[in-house]
Structure 1
Amino acid sequence: MILITGATGHVGRPLVNELLEAGRQVRALTRDPARADLPAGVEVAATADLPLSGVTSVFFVTAAFPQGTAEPIARMKAAGVRRIVALSSYSVLDDDPKNMIGVKHRDLERQIEEAGVEWTFLRPAGGFAATALEWAGQIRAEGVARAPFGDARTAPVHERDIAAVAARALLTDDLVGAAPLFSGPESLSYADRARIIGEVTGEPVRFAELTQDEARQEWFRAGVPPHAVEARLRMFARLVGRPHEISPVDPFLGRPALSFAQWVADHTNTFRKVTS
């Protein structure tokens, strides 16, 4: 049995599908099982219950455990879990103590290593393409995408690529003890992302650059935690005008990474403008 934490999240949903297609038994954890809307054949349970009977491998995301990760990891080890595949972050490579994303994920990796289980740490680089969903409301209503540092460049990763690497780590021994780092296939600015959304949807999107204070308020309203907001601002300030390094996913998947344009095509209806 494979346990998926954060099963209704951006990575969890496609990962559940990957594992079902591979014929594996899946137990999916979510805060509200009644609203999970996962495929037939998936055993759905509440994250708070953390049912571990029969579980041999776990896909672990920190967002599923806002009260801390040490206790659930200890429970997994005690229950006989043999392998944990964790969604970490390439921010672990930044030793700045102010980078709370890096600090949090270094702690996660350490806790899993100390548990003495087999492990794989996924380190997506370049940001999640899904962060563009924060623009959805303003694009639908106004045809505008707002963000700070319009020329800050990242290499956004499609969640399906993250899920595919996670599936390989769960289904094979190829990535045991590895920390695969991979990015999206192209270096894009925020302004580029807005343009691509408009091109793919056929409804032009105007990019509007925010000040840092304006961005804080936008992201707070979108539910981004304060420590993540400050980490983002520091990161994007450093990336202005600099091409983002591309870390290919090909060595892990045997194919190129999915583009941001493909990601938009997969989420087109999310950005369609409101019509009367």
Structure 2
Amino acid sequence: MTYLVTGATGNVGRQVVEQLRRDGHSVRALTRDPASARLPEDVEVVRGDLTRPETLTDALDGVSGVHLIGFSGDDYAPLETAAEVVERVARAGVRRATVLKGVQGEPVEEALQATDLEWTFVQPVEFMSNALDWAGAIRSGGEVREPFPEALSAMVHEGDIGAVIAAALTQDGHHGRTYLLTGPEALTKPDKVRILGEAIGRDLRYVELTEQQARERWAAEGYAPETIDFFVWVHGDPPEEGYTVVPTVEKVLGRPARTFAEWAAEHAADFR
């Protein structure tokens, strides 16, 4: 069987591709720019764009399952072409679909629910890979400057997200489910900095920024006011599901979710 992965060059998409490969499945990866995909040679890389559904015809040929993303572009706006994309997926004879839920991913989900496809929605909380945003500051100065030191996050390993998606695509028993995914623990930013320091063998410093200092930094980095307001909300007053540990990963995969310490050890070279 062949499985099509959209968003295949993203943090999660690459993990879905890799897990499907490890499980011995044939993988087709959809990307806007195949030349820069940098995927394994045994992955069939095809050109396509979810915002242009007419480009999907060849990519969907012979596919039994497809992983979709519910947003378009780097701004994570809802996918306006969702209905046509899903119509083409259903018309191609695809049996199963998974969706990586974005902040505003409802159009794809609603379109899938109106079909006969077996669907599974996957909603991860904060990715552990977000910590890579600190890599430059840690390498150069050994410190992380962030606001809201008390806020908790049950961040999840992107490899666990990919493994759950691959399981839902290839195994029975996941139709109609929405899987909220977290890691095995809720951590503060100082916790994360300490764990990263342990992974690289250095004493790292956490420097607390006030909300105003954080707003000024984000504005200087070019973020729009509404985006900055979103950052303040999600980091300063995160929703309960963002810091409440749930056992979904273990229930689906039969093994515990990976810890941030494991992630930090895997990525230690990025912070040295």
Q: TM-score range by the shorter chain?
A: 0.7 to 0.9
The aligned amino acid for 1:68 is: E
Q: Does residue 209 of the first structure (1) align with residue 208 of the second (2)? A: yes
CA distance in 2, matches of 1:112, 1:105: 12
Give the deviation of 1:30 after TM superposition: 2.1
Q: 1:62 matched to which residue of 2?
A: 70
* SS of residue matched to 1:86: strand
Mapping for residues 240-259 of structure 1, pairs under 5 Å? 244-248=243-247, 249-259=249-259
Q: Which whole-Å deviations, capped at 9, do the CAs of 1:187-244 have from their partners, x for residues lacking one?
A: 100111111111111122211223335434655777988766533421332249x993
Q: 2:47 matched to which residue of 1?
A: 46
Q: 1:94 matched to which residue of 2?
A: none
Q: 1:144 matched to which residue of 2?
A: 143
Give the deviation of 1:26 after TM superposition: 0.7
Which range is displaced more, 19-28 or 161-170?
19-28
Q: Which whole-Å deviations, capped at 9, do the CAs of 1:6-40 have from their partners, x for residues lacking one?
A: 11211111221211122211111123211212112
Q: Does residue 19 of the first structure (1) align with residue 31 of the second (2)? A: no
Mapping for residues 123-134 of structure 1, pairs under 5 Å? 123-125=123-125, 127-134=126-133
Q: 1:97 matched to which residue of 2?
A: none
CA distance in 2, matches of 1:7, 1:179: 21
Q: 1:32 matched to which residue of 2?
A: 33
For this pair of structures, how many residues does the alignment match? Answer: 257
Structural RMSD (CA): 2.6
Q: Does residue 106 of the first structure (1) align with residue 106 of the second (2)? A: yes
Percent identity of paired positions between Structure 1 and Structure 2: 42
Q: 1:118 matched to which residue of 2?
A: 118
Q: Which whole-Å deviations, capped at 9, do the CAs of 1:136-173 have from their partners, x for residues lacking one?
A: 11111111212221110011100111111111101111
CA distance in 2, matches of 1:20, 1:225: 39
The aligned amino acid for 2:118 is: E
Q: 1:105/1:173 Cα in 2 relative to 1: closer, same or farther (>3 Å)?
A: same
CA distance in 1, matches of 2:211, 2:97: 37
CA distance in 2, matches of 1:64, 1:199: 37
Q: 1:88/1:243 Cα in 2 relative to 1: closer, same or farther (>3 Å)?
A: closer
**Aligned residues of 1:6 and 1:63 also touching (Cα < 8 A):** no
The aligned amino acid for 2:134 is: W
Q: 1:88 matched to which residue of 2?
A: 101
TM-score (ref. length: structure 2):
0.84
Q: 1:229/1:162 Cα in 2 relative to 1: closer, same or farther (>3 Å)?
A: farther
CA distance in 1, matches of 2:223, 2:32: 18
Q: 1:7 matched to which residue of 2?
A: 8
Which structure 2 residue ranges, 5 or more long, are not aligned? 50-54
CA distance in 2, matches of 1:11, 1:222: 25
* SS of residue matched to 1:85: strand
CA distance in 2, matches of 1:269, 1:220: 30
CA distance in 2, matches of 1:4, 1:219: 33
Which structure 1 residue ranges, 5 or more long, are not aligned? 90-100
Q: Which whole-Å deviations, capped at 9, do the CAs of 1:21-75 have from their partners, x for residues lacking one?
A: 2221111112321121211210012232332211221111235556634132232
Match of 2:90 among 71, 77, 88: 77
**Aligned residues of 2:86 and 2:108 also touching (Cα < 8 A):** no
Give the deviation of 1:129 after TM superposition: 0.7
Give every structure 1 segment of 4 or more consecutive aligned residues whose post-TM-superposition deviation is greater than 6 Å. Answer: 220-226
TM-score (ref. length: structure 1):
0.83
**Aligned residues of 1:47 and 1:64 also touching (Cα < 8 A):** no
* SS of residue matched to 2:63: coil
Q: 1:228/1:121 Cα in 2 relative to 1: closer, same or farther (>3 Å)?
A: farther
Q: Which whole-Å deviations, capped at 9, do the CAs of 1:94-146 have from their partners, x for residues lacking one?
A: xxxxxxx2xx1233322221244210001223x11111111111111111212
